[in-house]
Structure 1
Amino acid sequence: MTRLKSLSRRSMIGLTLAAGLLAACSADVEMPAISSSGDYRPGQVVWRDLITPDVAGASEFYGQLFGWDIRVAGDGYSLILKDGIAIGGIANSDATDDNYWLPLVSVNNVDGAVARATGNGATALLGPEDLGARGRGALLRDPDGATFGVVRSATGDPADLPEKPGFWGWSEVWSLDKTAVAPFYAMVTGTVPATRQIGGVSYLHMKSGDTPAFGLVDRPSEAVPATWVNYVHVADAAATAARALELGGRVLAEPTDGPGGGTVAVIADKWGGGVILRQEK
């Protein structure tokens, strides 16, 4: 019963996200390109969009928290920059009950990825469709209920981001069964499962060629639905978590020692969008 309730809730979340992206991709908004590199990094998370009912409020929150420069790019969409590098966006949603960071995974062919996904238990929430300068994309819900996007950028993928405070780091899928969902992501994203030892524990992740792409983790409890989570590098996890509280956010997990060293904490903005803070050793 708990699993059914979680999946039901994720279905509603997926529809909310789809509504938000549909609004952001309307005729009034030109979705900006994510890069003009001309190079592609299939299998990697190359972009993250926040779907939120309050673009202005979220821009103020994250701008103060991470030192992001957030600029209005159109009606209902703002672009996030850090040290002059575009690293994500904030898209408006009319729904007020859910607010999530949506990762976009680069794929060679969006239509093929969607066909493989839906043929293996996923649901297509949006697309495939052309998204202007952004390229071609789709929004998917994996078999466990975690929502993510796939994209083939019109002009290339961003390069790896610096491992510095304020920049995105690693991404993970928190799943109902990490081993069961690994073949799904392999088929959809062209990655392959691999393991490595971190802090004496075998860590399952997906690789693109020889490069790690994203992790697969069993959700920490039944109270947590299947979801993608994203890490942000910070100089001081405890200070950043405290600042999130001052700005009206929440601390979902207090700073603690992270796997392999460093410190991690989980915070959410005042509308519910969550990220993991990662302070290196």
Structure 2
Amino acid sequence: MSTIVGRFIRHELRTVDPATAIAFYEGLFGWTTEPYPMGRIIRAGATVIGGISEVKPGLGGHWTPYIGAADVDAVATAAAQAGGIVTTGEPADVPGLGRLAPILDRDMSIFCSFAPLEPSEPATSGFVWDRLRTPDVAAAADFYAGTVGWQATVAPDGAAAVFDATDGTRVAEALAVADGEPTGWLPFVGVADLETARGTATRLGGTATESAAIAGVGSYAVVTDPEGATLAVFEPEH
């Protein structure tokens, strides 16, 4: 269990139209899906990397990262004390999956604290990075340090931070956004060719915007699926 604490171990898509979402992501990334009690699981090759579940109309599509925990109840309590909200009121056991608590942080960005029924290593394919977009990087760093146990390093100007799990593994970053810009968790998915991924996303009914290059790392674009859920497609520098 210790190897998953503070690590992103799966990502779940909440969508009002699972069939459309499945067609979009299978076409974009070559993922496969199969039924499980809460919807469908997503595989990248043979590896389970997340799931897809249906939400009521009006809630909009969104990706929710699952962060590993040794004690979900303790994380939920700490989050509530720090100003977060456990959206289900209290943690719950999901048959065949594990114990989880969906949590809104102080900026209303959602994640799940998750203790899987059968502990496993974090997935090494599919999702490769996670970025928190927040109006207050320092406050977000304090929140996640106090709830999921990350060690945060905030830039001197307060515009960015990086997060390390308790084992020292770098797991995520936070970037400051201006008023009116999208907030929340943005997962990154690795691709072999960024321009091909952008074109495929558009052809399948999504949009691709906000392209950027990170010196020495790679390039990415933000993709919005037909139901409004966003993620980034990332091509590492060769």
Asked if Structure 1 and Structure 2 have the same fold, meaning a TM-score greater than 0.5 normalized by the shorter chain, the answer is yes
Q: 1:225 to 1:159 in 2, by over 3 A?
A: closer
Which of 59, 63, 77 does residue 115 from structure 1 map onto?
77
The runs of at least 4 consecutive aligned structure 1 residues that moved more than 4 Å come to none
Cα distance between partner residues in 2 of 1:195 and 1:211: 16
Instruction: Indicate yes or no: 2:18 matched with 1:55.
Output: yes
Which of 223, 232, 237 does residue 276 from structure 1 map onto?
232
Q: CA deviation at 1:157?
A: 3.3
Output the amino acid matched with 1:124. Answer: V
Instruction: Indicate yes or no: 2:203 matched with 1:246.
Output: yes
Instruction: Indicate yes or no: 2:114 matched with 1:151.
Output: yes
Q: What corresponds to 2:183 in structure 1? A: 226
Q: CA deviation at 1:94?
A: 2.0
Residues 170-208 of structure 1: CA deviation (Å, up to 9, x unaligned): 012111111121111011101111368xxxx98511111
Q: What corresponds to 2:221 in structure 1? A: 265
Instruction: Indicate yes or no: 2:164 matched with 1:207.
Output: yes
Residues 62-118 of structure 1: CA deviation (Å, up to 9, x unaligned): 0010010112224x6111111111111000112245100000111111111111111
Q: What corresponds to 1:88 in structure 2? A: 50
Q: CA deviation at 1:52?
A: 0.4
Q: 1:223 to 1:252 in 2, by over 3 A?
A: farther
Q: Answer with 90-99 or 51-60: which moved more.
A: 90-99
Does the CA-based 8 Å contact 1:39-1:157 persist in structure 2?
no
Q: CA deviation at 1:215?
A: 1.1
Q: How many percent of aligned residue pairs carry the same amino acid?
A: 24
Cα distance between partner residues in 1 of 2:19 and 2:191: 23
Cα distance between partner residues in 2 of 1:259 and 1:151: 33
Question: How does 1:25-36 map onto structure 2 within 5 Å?
Answer: none
Instruction: Indicate yes or no: 2:62 matched with 1:106.
Output: no
Q: CA deviation at 1:119?
A: 0.5
Cα distance between partner residues in 2 of 1:96 and 1:57: 16
Of Structure 1 and Structure 2, the greater helix share is in: 1
Residues 1-39 of structure 1: CA deviation (Å, up to 9, x unaligned): xxxxxxxxxxxxxxxxxxxxxxxxxxxxxxxxxxxxx66
Q: CA deviation at 1:149?
A: 0.7
Instruction: Indicate yes or no: 2:130 matched with 1:171.
Output: yes
Q: Answer with 186-195 or 114-123: which moved more.
A: 186-195
Over the aligned positions, Cα root-mean-square deviation in angstroms equals: 2.1
Cα distance between partner residues in 2 of 1:264 and 1:160: 20
Structure 1 gap segments, 5+ residues each: 1-37
Cα distance between partner residues in 2 of 1:82 and 1:252: 24
Aligned residues: 234
Structure 2 gap segments, 5+ residues each: none
Cα distance between partner residues in 1 of 2:204 and 2:16: 17
Does the CA-based 8 Å contact 1:171-1:228 persist in structure 2?
yes
Residues 238-276 of structure 1: CA deviation (Å, up to 9, x unaligned): 1111111100001232x3322543211011101001111
Q: What corresponds to 1:6 in structure 2? A: none
Q: 1:202 to 1:260 in 2, by over 3 A?
A: farther
Does the CA-based 8 Å contact 2:192-2:235 persist in structure 1?
yes
Q: 1:86 to 1:195 in 2, by over 3 A?
A: same
TM-score, with normalisation over the residues of structure 1? 0.78
TM-score, with normalisation over the residues of structure 2? 0.91
Cα distance between partner residues in 1 of 2:124 and 2:51: 15
